[in-house]
Structure 1
Amino acid sequence: MIDETGATVSSTLLAKPPSTSAVASRTGNLVTWWTGDALLVFDAGNLTQRYTIAAGETTAPVGPGVMMAGQLLVPVTGGIGVYDPVSGANNRYIPVTRPPSTSAVIPAVSGSRVIEQRGDTLVALG
């Protein structure tokens, strides 16, 4: 991570180069960066890495995260993962059916709805 003066404030080695469709977003006091197969979560205040949400046996992150009701929501294969924003512990999965895509799923929250940008399409959930 590089700050506004151009100084490197933190660095993290990746297992492989990030995807050309990698996406970063700021949500609450977090910055999330979807690399194409994992989600790195940073503290927005000092840009230190908190944790990584990596691909598992049955699910993998498919986009950056968004805060809702004190939880970090992450689009994952077949649903939305609900994570503790402090520890990164997974609390549960909410099933969501999506068509196959290589584009990032970019979530946003509006009231009690989660909105996903899937390529050129917006989908409201809830």
Structure 2
Amino acid sequence: MINLKESLILEEKLKNYIKNGYLDINSFDNPDDEAACTLTELSYLNKGLCEEYSRLIIESEVVGDDYLKSRCLDHLLDLNKKYALKYIEEQVNNMSIPILSTAMSGLVQYSNSKFRKKYHLN
């Protein structure tokens, strides 16, 4: 029961972050860092909610922190590889460096595709 209560609290914080740009109005910490930590906590308590909020943040045009979005992509690679690989395929031309770095690591780790061409010199 404690996990459910904690999950709901973390979910409310993330809703507030997406809507208002902060988790707690009385906090003086960096809201993007707080959101990343909250997602990590949520990943231990409720993987489904972590996936849901990672998707919401990474797809959001309001949330502009690329490092947070790269953390979201990292969570998604662990929680829903199919979605994450599709997202990478669709967004690769528009990714910032932090997101692209996470994407490349994920592709190397999770994709069955070959990324290097082998050239044979005759």
Q: TM-score range by the shorter chain?
A: under 0.3
- Between Structure 1 and Structure 2, the one with more helix by share is 2
- So what's the TM-score if we normalise by structure 2? 0.26
Structure with more contact order per residue of length (Cα contacts < 8 Å, sep ≥ 6): 2
- Between Structure 1 and Structure 2, the one with more strand by share is 1
- So what's the TM-score if we normalise by structure 1? 0.25
Whose Rg is larger?
A: 2
